[in-house]
């Protein structure tokens, strides 16, 4: 079996796991790639096939329905997934010959289904080739919801919400941003090295990297010849994979050496370890999570990065106030959310979300925020963040919290941000909403609040500004 054929088979099996068993695409793909030795080219092909096919699911289904002689619900699942894989190659991968896309998809149906089903799959894919030029999506000008949903492959309910908030042009830009492969960004571990030293070591391993968009310790990988776990810099603990938007959370928390910090929903530990670095590995961080097994990821990262001040504990964040009343100088609530700001990183996520989940998650987030607030000392800092764009989970949670807590107030985040972001609407009031199509970052919401009292934490930071931010404006 050639590398390309093996890549297609792995992609097909991952797609089957995602579509039929609800697996997460990134985790399933990583597991298959670890178990199968593929060269760099085949790994890249398998990755694009999985992410592209899963991301474009509703568009691919629409194309199949236009040319098939039966409704989708009457096509066997294993056949439909092979058709999706084939149509993705025919529509979105011009460098792959049509014959290869069709033949290998048909072979997959034979291998995992039946010869009769293979004949049907062959007929559908041949029809797609013949009719491809004549297939036109509904126009966004005439039917914005359906047109944008199909052309840019997002659920209609999601598109409808964004159209009401952003308008047609910006909704299209947002969907386009969600469909672009996200950059791999590394956070330099300043406890052990500098961005320059990290860049040099990575380049020795054949990587190409460049500076981040906003932060000095962020490095963006532009060429990755091997998995990050296999490089010397990873083994030394010189970096952590983390998006810049997530790094900004640590700066807004602004922890100081020697303080006590509570990270209420810490796993897998990216923000926890960043807080420890910003504290110079001095003080105490309590890292909680409701899932005990996920705390092992936090502990593993701390060991690799050389961090010793983090203590992990299984915690239900809704019960925090009972266990740690007034304990922390600073509390971070990275709340469970719909994740609609990071759809580029989670290609299957858009098909697993619903309006009902947004409402339910907003209620859970308010419960957690309310409980975590009781752990903040007078004068201490409370930071709330999500990786979503939805107001119900963001501003409205904070507003509902403040309506019932007159001992907290919003605190401007302007002093903790680089110039290009410090001027954003809302920053002077106490919150920041990052948008993928505007900022070139993951969509994040961050709000900073202070508990009323003497000697408020972080007051010295307001005059000096955040350290470690690049000079970009």
The residues annotated as belonging to the active site are: 387
CA 384 to chain centre: 17
Pairing assessment for the beta strands 284-289 and 310-314 based on DSSP bridges? parallel
Tokens of 472: 């970009």
Element at 449 (helix H, strand E): strand 445-451
Distance CA 331, CA 210 (A): 32
Q: Are strands 445-451 and 408-410 parallel, antiparallel or unpaired?
A: antiparallel
Residue 206 and residue 225 in contact, taking contact as beta carbons nearer than 8 Å: yes
Farthest-apart Cα atoms in the chain, separation: 77
The span from the CA of 464 to the CA of 46, in Å, is 48
Rounded CA separation 275/297 (Å): 16
- Between the two ends of the chain, the Cα-to-Cα distance in Å is 51
Cis peptide, bond prior to residue 292, ω within 30 of zero: no
Per DSSP, the residues of 40-54 read HHHHHHHHHHHHHHH
């Amino acid at each position: 079996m050639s590398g390309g054929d093996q890549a297609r088979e792995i992609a097909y099996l991952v797609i089957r796991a995602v579509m039929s068993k609800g697996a997460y695409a990134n985790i399933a793909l990583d597991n298959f790639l670890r178990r199968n030795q593929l060269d760099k080219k085949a790994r890249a092909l398998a990755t694009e096939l999985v992410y592209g096919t899963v991301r474009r699911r509703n568009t691919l289904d629409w194309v199949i329905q236009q040319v098939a002689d039966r409704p989708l619900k009457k096509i066997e699942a294993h056949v439909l997934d092979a058709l999706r894989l084939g149509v993705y190659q025919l529509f979105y991968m011009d460098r792959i010959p049509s014959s290869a896309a069709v033949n290998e998809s048909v072979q997959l149906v034979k291998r995992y289904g039946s010869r009769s089903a293979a004949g049907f799959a062959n007929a559908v894919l041949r029809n797609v080739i013949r009719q491809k030029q004549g297939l036109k999506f509904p126009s966004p000008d005439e039917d914005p919801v359906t047109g944008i949903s199909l052309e840019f492959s997002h659920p209609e309910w999601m598109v409808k919400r964004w159209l009401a908030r952003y308008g047609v042009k910006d909704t299209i830009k947002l969907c386009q941003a969600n469909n672009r492969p996200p950059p791999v960004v590394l956070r330099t571990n300043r406890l052990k090295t500098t961005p320059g030293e990290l860049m040099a070591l990575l380049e020795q391993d054949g990587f190409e990297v460049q500076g981040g968009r906003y932060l000095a310790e962020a490095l963006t990988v532009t060429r990755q010849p091997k998995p990050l776990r296999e490089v010397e810099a990873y083994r030394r603990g010189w970096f952590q994979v983390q998006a810049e938007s997530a790094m900004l959370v640590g700066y807004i928390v602004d922890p100081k050496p020697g303080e006590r910090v509570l990270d209420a929903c810490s796993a897998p530990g990216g923000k926890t370890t960043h807080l420890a670095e910003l504290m110079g590995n001095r003080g105490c961080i309590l890292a909680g999570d409701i899932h005990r097994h996920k705390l092992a990821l936090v502990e593993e990262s701390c060991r690799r990065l050389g961090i010793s001040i983090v203590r992990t504990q299984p915690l239900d964040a809704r019960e925090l106030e009972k266990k740690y009343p007034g304990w922390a100088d600073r509390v971070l609530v990275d709340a469970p959310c719909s994740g609609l700001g990071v759809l580029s990183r989670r290609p299957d996520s858009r098909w697993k979300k619903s309006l009902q989940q947004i409402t339910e998650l907003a209620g859970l987030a308010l419960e957690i925020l309310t409980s975590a607030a009781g752990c903040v000392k007078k004068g201490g800092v409370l930071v709330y963040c999500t990786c979503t764009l939805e107001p119900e989970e963001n501003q409205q949670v904070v507003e509902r919290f403040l309506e019932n807590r007159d001992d907290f107030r919003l605190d401007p985040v302007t002093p903790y941000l680089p110039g290009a972001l410090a001027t954003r609407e809302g920053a002077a009031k106490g919150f920041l909403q990052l948008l993928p199509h505007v900022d070139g970052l993951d969509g994040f919401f961050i709000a900073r609040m202070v508990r009323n009292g003497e000697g408020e934490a972080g007051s010295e930071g307001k005059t000096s500004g955040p350290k470690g931010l690049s000079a970009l404006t």
